[in-house]
Amino acid sequence: MKINVTRRDVFRVAAGTAAGVMLTPAPWKLVDDLAIWTQNWSWIPVPSNGPVTTASTVCSLCPAGCGLEARCVSGIPVSLKGREHPICPLGQTGHHLPFHPARITCPVHVDHGPVRNPLRKVSLEQVLNAFRKKSESDVVAVLDTRPGRSMSAAWRRFIAGQPRGIYLPSPNREGASLATAESLLAAPPETIGYDTPNARTIVSFGAPLAEGWGASPVVNRLLDDDVRLIQIEPVWSRTAELADTWLPARPGTEAVVALAIANVLLAELRIGGETLAAASDRAAYESLVARFTPEVAAGITGLRARDISNAARTIAANLPAVVIAGEDPAGGRLGTESETAILGLNLLLGSGLTHRRPLPEPFDGKLAPALALATVPDRSIRRLIIDASAGDSAMPWPAIVRKLAADAVVIALSPFAAGTARRADYIVPTLPFLEAVQEIGTAETSPVATFTLSAAILPPAAGPIDPVAFLHAIGGSLEFSSLEELIAARTARIHAAGRGSVITFGDGSTKRIAEFESADAMRDALLEGGRWIDDPIEQPAPRAFSLLNGSGPELARQPAQHALTLMPRSTRDATASAAVSPVVSKLDQESALRRCGRTAAVNPETARKLGVRNGKKARLSTAMGAIAVTIATDAAVMPDVIELCVGPDAIARGEKGARHSLNALDLCPAAGDGVWRTTEAKLVVEG
Amino acid sequence: MKTAQPKHRYGMVIDLDRCNGCGACAVACAVENNVAPARAKTNDRTGLTWMRVYRANNGEQFPDHRTVYFPISCQHCGEHTPCVSVCPQNAVDVSPETGVVSQIPPRCLGCRYCMTACPYHARYFNWFDPVWPAGMEKTLNPDVSVRMRGVVEKCNFCHSRWQAAKAKAAAAGSRDLDPADYVPACVEACPSQAITFGDLADSRTPVSKLARSRNAFRLLEAIGTDPKVHYLSEREWVRRLGDADVAAMEPEVVRG
């Protein structure tokens, strides 16, 4: 049989085959594989494998000093988790920081002009020459972003040896308000803490307790059924979320709330009379408090009179109580007068403030006193060293600039070209968390002295300068050659004192100091995650004290109210480190959980009044300058208040090509007493 | 499509009265599961957050305004799992052993039908290649593969931790794993211990008891997906939010 294959037949077979193939998995598999092939590129990282080990250390990124367990692969930590309790996002991602894009390993000069590459590598000698160019008689100052460390003592000794030296602790450190308690209790602030562990009522004037504030995470304590939390602040915060009572008092009226609570305690509940009898200014206090009845206070603070009375009754029914004058990680202190009225409540209640021993310094000798920034004459500092080697602290930079002479040179020590260090002329690199042994001393709010060490898990990178070596290079004399030696000396001093116990990490057991045969053995225990806790001291008998400390006339005045008040706010995990892991973008960029630094939150009613709308651009200005912001209307914000978050900027998050920009604190002029919690502001629609 | 009942039904109960929106769960999840950080242009629509914390409120004005934080991950639907039904690639799998709904990235074609079908907006698409800053890739978790651009990903209750717990149990000669060995990263990281995790099929477990409590509710219960993530709140207005669309939870919040 003859078969004639025509061209048409060929086409038919081809078409049939093509159609048939489409009914088989082959083409779909091909598409699938092609898709996978085009999705997998050599630059997509593959997690490394290797021996898995665990190491223990302590987080030194903020003063809380949480115990950590690091899971390591080939010696490199791949995760950090809390040992005793869960930890904050900053601590969880601390192992990313040694690899952060903002990290520097050689000294750099920072060009503050509009240039493409603001960081230029320089030698250490060039940095030192810039420092030495100034005359010996010029004022030299050290700004310590993490006071209380062994290195802080070294700086204070260096400053004490200078003809015109100034030692400045960060104006925005936790517990700074306890300096006010010094005058009430006649005890230095480094020996006073809040007795939070024993309190049944915590009255917090703006302390972000659930946002990492304080000696140790207190979230679980706040959730205890037998603890009452009264949160007094104008904005619904994460701490207010957990509070039993939230009292949104107008900004600047915190003292009035405190006096009104005192009024109810004394007049209605008959609490505090005995204490009052011992006060040197009893008559003045009584007459001042009598003026601020709940009804009067309600008119000033915007609170309901019954809410103030109920708060006082809650306190009275749940003694002992602690009354905290909080600092905001961005907004700072409330101010001396407010703090006097607030801390005085503790004296009235006979609880709250507790005495502790100071931590031994690593060496003997004269130390320069810690001065408040506000007491430094304007334009007086010609050489400023910012020690941000152990962490950062958010502060209004214009307040620092005001103290600098026109030709001042500013040198920062920091592992990162970010945060406060980025404002300096030169940055000298230091080793970051996990690459060097760091110490975590007593948190300023702690009721008892504590000390622990953060062990290095990673090998140190080449290039960074030891802060002690830098101190030697600028002419400081110290018998130690490295920071590690200096810290070891303090550890030895604690051991020599023979007081307290070390809670060991391994089994949670407690070992008395005397049981350690040497300081080295104690140091080893601390490096393995142990924590030294001092023995409690017998509280001194109350002496003659003042409840007003001369602040009566200021407290009697009506607080100034602004038409529109700017309140910079933040959380500890957003400001304690100059750099944060890029993964924190999950909170502020990839979701709306946290507001970015350029989002101004206002009450919808205020927005309507000002003619600004949700999501629209506006211009926020104060006497210090202006920035562009995006409006977020939020009914949780008090009317006539602008809440502006201070958080990690693009540089701190490690964004490529990020440039430095102004933040909320740049708009805040620090007042005469160094307080910038509230600032008068204007908000207008842009364009 | 009705799903066969698995042997275990792993799920969680989140106490919204304890959650204060710290975000530790979201960050812990990203670290554990090698979820890449955002690129400069990434926003909340293109970001990857297997665990996302939404903010909702009672609708009142200041000072009676109150907020609640809703941590929302994949709800691991037990019935009529929408993402399973629509996937043309069988890239979504419901484990017959644990009831966990898992995404299989190498099978995924990136059609995003599952994202459209998911009533909880708990699935995320990889718009970009996953990139970490130079050197930071050394800190990736070796137990979890990095997903490629063009695929969908989501919470799988830390599958690698379940595998590790199973391996540990097997090494000890047991078929049942110790509940303490299988704890997802978000549960472990929560500072206020708001999240309880465990086997819902076992009526003796704390998670099972909490899920049956008076104040427990689930999201969009009316649509019948039988989610294995339960929420708790003593506040009635919070419980009512369970029937609200999660995408509408933050009408007031905008991105800066």
Asked if A377 has any chain B CB less than 8 Å from its own CB, the reply is no
A631 touches chain B (CB under 8 A): yes
Residues of B in contact with A634 (CB under 8 A): 252-253
Please state the rounded mean pLDDT for residues A259-263. Answer: 94
Q: Does A51 touch chain B (CB under 8 A)?
A: no
Cβ of residue A34 closer than 8 Å to a chain B Cβ: no
Q: State the Cα–Cα distance between residues A241 and A47, nearest whole angstrom.
A: 39
A131-145, A537-551, A646-660, range with the lowest pLDDT: A537-551
Q: Measured between CB atoms, does B191 come within 8 Å of chain A? A: yes
Mean pLDDT for A526-536 is 91
Query: Which residue of chain B comes nearest to A74, CA vs CA?
Result: B138
Q: Can you tell me the mean pLDDT for A9-38?
A: 87
CB-based contacts of A31: which residues, under 8 Å, 6+ apart? B109
Tell whether B88 lies on the interface with A, counting CB pairs under 8 A: no
Q: Are A587 and B138 inside 8 Å of each other by CB?
A: no
Other residues' Cβ atoms within 10 Å of the Cβ of residue B167: 12
Which residue, A210, A93, A578, A65, is CA-closest to B26? A93
Nearest-by-Cβ selection for B135 from A43, A99, A591:
A99
What is the reported pTM? Answer: 0.91
When scoring A84, A227, A250, A590 by the number of chain B Cβ atoms within 10 A, the one with the most, hence best to mutate, is: A590
The reported pLDDT for the residue numbered A282 is 82
Judged against a pLDDT cut of 80, whether residue A59 lies above it is answered with yes
Give me the mean pLDDT over the A493-508 stretch: 88
- Quick check: A577 contacting B, CB < 8 Å? no
Residue B255 scores a pLDDT above 70:
no
CB < 8 Å to A591, chain B: 26, 44, 47, 49, 52-54
H helices of A324-476, in order, are 336-349, 397-401, 467-473
Inform me whether the C-beta atom of residue A275 falls under 8 Å from chain B C-beta atoms. Answer: no
Q: How confident is the model at residue A655 (pLDDT cuts 50, 70, 90)?
A: confident
Statement: residue B179 has pLDDT above 50 = yes
pLDDT tens sequence across A388-398: 999 999 999 99
The alpha carbon of A83 is separated from its chain's Cα centroid by a whole number of angstroms, namely 21
The nearest alpha carbon in chain B to A237 belongs to: B20
Sheet with strand A321-325: strands edge to edge: A245-247, A228-232, A201-205, A321-325
- Is it the case that residue A100 has pLDDT exceeding 90? yes
- Among the partner residues B22, B27, B109, nearest to A583 by beta-carbon distance: B27
How far is the alpha carbon of B68 from chain A, nearest alpha carbon, in Å?
Answer: 8
Query: What are φ and ψ of residue A168, in 5° steps?
Result: -120, 110
Name the residue with tokens 């309901």: A304
Average pLDDT, chain A: 89
Structure tokens at B251: 């009408």
Is residue B250 over pLDDT 60? Answer: no
pLDDT-based confidence at A28, cuts 50/70/90?
confident
What's the pLDDT tens digit per position in B104-148? 998 898 999 999 999 999 999 999 889 999 999 999 999 999 998
Of A71 and A353, the structure prediction assigns the larger pLDDT to A71
Which residues on A lie below 8 Å from B48 (Cβ)? 586, 590
A459 near B CB under 8 A: no
Residues 6 or more apart whose CB falls under 8 angstroms from that of A181 comprise A187, A189, A192, A339, A343, A353
Size of chain B in residues = 256
pLDDT, average across residues A417-440: 95
Say which residues have a Cβ less than 8 Å from residue A160's Cβ, sequence separation at least 6: A365, A366, A367, A368
Question: In B, which residues are within 8 Å of A37 by CB distance?
Answer: none
List the single residue in B34, B67, B133 with the smallest CB-CB distance to A236.
B67
Q: Are A629 and A618 in contact (CB under 8 A)?
A: yes
**Residue in B61, B129, B146 nearest the CB of A635:** B61
Distance of alpha carbon A231 from alpha carbon A555, whole angstroms:
21
Residues of chain A with Cβ-Cβ distance to B252 below 8 Å are: 604, 614, 632-635
Greatest C-alpha distance within chain A = 130
pLDDT above 80 for B253: no
Kindly report whether the peptide bond that precedes residue A396 is cis, defined as omega within 30 degrees of 0. no
CB-based contacts of B189, cutoff 8 Å, min separation 6: A81, A86, A87, A92, B24, B25, B27, B28
In this complex, which of A48, A219, A223 lies closest to B138 when CB atoms are compared?
A48
Residue B27 has its nearest CB partner, among A48, A89, A650, at: A89
* Chain A, chain B: beta-carbon pairs less than 8 Å apart: 242
Q: What is the DSSP string of B176-238?
A: SPPGGG---HHHHH-TT--EEEEETTSTTSHHHHHHTSTTEE-TTGGG----SEEEE-S-HHH
Question: Greatest CA separation found in chain B?
Answer: 59
Report yes or no: A219 at the B interface, CB cutoff 8 Å.
yes
Beta bridge partners of A281: none
* Residue A603 in contact with partner chain B when CB distance is under 8 A: yes
**Please, which pLDDT band fits residue A269 given cuts at 50, 70 and 90?**
confident
Tell me, yes or no, if B32 comes closer than 8 A to chain A by beta carbon: yes
pLDDT higher than threshold 70 for residue B3: no
CA distance B41 to A585: 11
How far apart CA A267 and CA A660 sit, in angstroms, is: 54
Taking CA atoms, A366 is separated from A33, A363, A486, B118, in Å, by 73, 10, 16, 68
Query: B101: how many CB neighbours lie within 10 A of its CB?
Result: 25
A572: contact with B, CB 8 A cutoff:
no
Nearest to A478 by CA among A150, A91, A200, A163: A150
Residue B193 neighbours by CB distance under 10 Å: 14
B18 with B232: CB under 8 angstroms?
A: no
Pick the residue with more confidence: A282 or A223? A282
% of chain A beyond a pLDDT of 70? 96
B122 is written with which tokens? 């708990």
User: Are residues A241 and B190, on separate chains, in Cβ contact within 8 Å?
Assistant: no
B248 and A CB contact within 8 Å: no
Q: In this structure, what are the phi and psi dihedrals at residue A678, rounded to the nearest 5 degrees? A: -130, 145
Angle between helices A336-349 and A254-263 in degrees, nearest 10: 20
Amino acid at A143: L
Cross-chain Cβ contact A590/B28 below 8 Å = no
Of the candidates A11, A379, A139, A633, the one whose C-alpha atom is nearest the C-alpha of residue B61 is A633
In our burial notation (b when 16+ CB lie closer than 10 A, e otherwise), range B44-75 reads beebbbbbbbbbbbbeeebbebbbbbbbbbbb
Size (chain A), residues: 687
Strands of A438-440's sheet in order across: A438-440, A450-454, A531-533, A501-503, A510-512
Task: Name every chain A residue with its beta carbon within 8 A of the beta carbon of B66.
Answer: 236
Q: Which of residues 209-238 of B touch A (CB under 8 A)?
A: none
| B131 vs A: CB within 8 A | yes
Q: Which value, in Å, is the radius of gyration of the alpha carbons in chain B?
A: 18
Q: Of A103, A96, A99, A76, whose CA–CA distance to A459 is shortest?
A: A76
- Return d(Cα A226, Cα A216) in angstroms, integer: 19
Confidence of residue A309 (pLDDT cuts 50, 70, 90): very high
**pLDDT for position A184:** 79
Distance (Å, rounded) from C-alpha A419 to C-alpha A393?
A: 8
Q: Does A81 touch chain B (CB under 8 A)?
A: yes
Q: Which of A444-448, A542-546, B72-76 has the lowest mean pLDDT?
A: A542-546
B56, A634 contact by CB (below 8 A): no
> CA-CA distance, A572 to B101, in Å (whole number)?
36
Q: Which two tokens stand for residue B209?
A: 């008891």
Q: Is the pLDDT of residue A482 over 70?
A: yes
Nearest beta carbon to residue B20 from set A32, A93, A242? A242
Chain B residue with Cα closest to A645:
B256
Structure tokens at A296: 């009067």
Q: pLDDT-based confidence at A219, cuts 50/70/90?
A: low
Cα nearest neighbour of B21 on chain A: A238
pLDDT at site A347: 87
CB contact under 8 A, B138 and A633: no
Report the C-alpha gap between A416 and A420 in whole angstroms: 10
pLDDT value for A42: 80
Of all residues in chain A, what percent carry a pLDDT higher than 90? 59
From chain B, pick out residues whose CB is under 8 angstroms from the CB of A92: 24, 27-28, 31, 189
